Structure 1
Amino acid sequence: MSFLIGETMRGGYGGADILNGCTIAVDKGEIAVIVGPNGAGKSTAMKAIFGMLPLREGRVTLAGQDITALSPQDRVKAGMGFVPQTSNVFVSMSVQENLEMGAYIRHDDFSDTMEQVFDLFPILKEKRRQPAGELSGGQRQQVAVGRALMTRPSLLMLDEPTAGVSPIVMDELFDRIIEVAATGIAILMVEQNARQALNIADRGYVLVQGSNRFTDTGEALLANPEVRATFLGG
């Protein structure tokens, strides 16, 4: 029994189902990556797991508890942190204010957690008084991840965290994601840079039309000739 399981999920946005029975799972301290062609249902699967999309069939369990009926807000309280691909920072607020917003569900002293975020992303400490809207794309992504970490999640979900950033920034973000997983947090990530993402993945899921086409370790998927030829550009 994995820490998180989105099991045989079916659902869509009102018309035909986009998810067609896919199952996604990840354990604490693991990195699970969802890859696949455009329109495969990758981000839809993430939204379903986070409660932003109602399931017609299937269920979501976290730490053995069925959370299928919970709202996204209640899933955050249950231990989920979600970083959307776009519009994921408050541009007019400072870096520190963005992080403080991440602690909105907490009623304790969160200064230690903020220092941990600053240790993970030193540039954010340097720019803590600067409006998030003035940061580079990669720095904004750091703010968004940091804000999610302020809730002290047991599961961190990242939707295309390296979209639009340079290869150097992508490598830095992946290094930080590995560090977060090393603290025992489960990481579930949708990523367009499939080869690089699978290189750091404990588990990989290749979705096609909302179904599991391949499920294996990241290393095994990278070595699979069919996966390489069809989804990784050879």
Structure 2
Amino acid sequence: MSFLIGDKMTGGYGGADILHDCTVSVERGEIAVVVGPNGAGKSTAMKAMFGMLDLRAGKVLFDGEDITDLKPQDRVLKGMGFVPQTSNVFTSMTVEENLEMGAFIRRDDIAETMDQVYGLFPILHEKRLQPAGELSGGQRQQVAVGRALMTKPKVLMLDEPTAGVSPIVMDELFDRIIEVARTGIAILMVEQNAKQALNIADKGFVLVQGENRYTDTGSALMANPNVRKAFLGG
């Protein structure tokens, strides 16, 4: 059984299903990437696994426990961290205050985790007293990821972490994501930059219209001629 799995998920918003028997999973220390065309249900799958969407069928299991009916805040307490694509920082708060907000569930000393986040993202230490709203898009994404890491999650879910950033910043973010996975944290990520994401992925899921079209290792999907032609630009 996978460490985190959304198993045969069916559901959507209102009366329309967006996910159809969709399965997404990730193991400890692994990077799993969900890719596919716009409207494929990638972000919806992530929201369903985080409890932001009720399922009509299927279930979500985390570390062997059925969490299908848990609210998002209860999933955070279990060890799930989620970074949405937009509106993911408190713009009027400083960088350091944003990170402290991430530790709201903690009752222990957060200083060591704060140092680890600053070690991962040195620019955040440099700008720690600056309002997050004054940062570049890439720096805001680092704040958002750092804030999620402050909860000491067992799994980190990222929805389009490189949206709107330059290729250089994207490469840097991916490098940091690899570092996080090496600490044993499971990384589940939705990405529009499919080729770059699959390059760092241990496992990939290609969704089309809310269904699994291909599931394989990142390298196997990169080598699959059908995947390359349809989703990776040839």
In 2: Cα distance, 1:115 partner to 1:162 partner: 24
Letter in 1 for 2:76: V
**1:16 to partner: Cα distance:** 1.8
**1:29 to partner: Cα distance:** 0.2
Partner of 2:97: 97
In 2: Cα distance, 1:86 partner to 1:61 partner: 26
In 1: Cα distance, 2:15 partner to 2:161 partner: 28
Partner of 1:6: 6
Partner of 1:117: 117
**1:28 to partner: Cα distance:** 0.3
In 2: Cα distance, 1:168 partner to 1:203 partner: 24
Q: Please show how residues 1-234 of structure 1 align to structure 2 within 5 Å.
A: 1-234=1-234
Letter in 1 for 2:156: L
Structure 2 portions without partners, runs of 5+:
none
Structure 1 stretches of 4+ moved >4 Å:
none
Deviations 1:16-36 (A, max 9, x none): 200000100100000000000
In 2: Cα distance, 1:30 partner to 1:68 partner: 22
In 2: Cα distance, 1:165 partner to 1:25 partner: 27
In 1: Cα distance, 2:204 partner to 2:151 partner: 26
**1:81 to partner: Cα distance:** 0.2
Letter in 1 for 2:226: E
**1:205 to partner: Cα distance:** 0.1
In 1: Cα distance, 2:26 partner to 2:154 partner: 11
Q: Secondary structure at the match of 2:13?
A: coil
Letter in 1 for 2:45: A
Q: Secondary structure at the match of 1:17?
A: strand
CA RMSD of aligned residues (A): 0.4
In 1: Cα distance, 2:15 partner to 2:36 partner: 22
Deviations 1:157-212 (A, max 9, x none): 00000000000000000000000000000000000000000000000000001110
Identity of aligned residues (%): 79
Aligned residues: 234
Q: Secondary structure at the match of 1:114?
A: helix
In 2: Cα distance, 1:134 partner to 1:5 partner: 37
Q: Secondary structure at the match of 2:233?
A: coil
Q: Secondary structure at the match of 1:227?
A: helix
In 2: Cα distance, 1:134 partner to 1:110 partner: 25
Structure 1 portions without partners, runs of 5+:
none
Letter in 2 for 1:36: G
Deviations 1:9-64 (A, max 9, x none): 00000122000001001000000000000100000000000000000000000000
In 1: Cα distance, 2:2 partner to 2:115 partner: 30
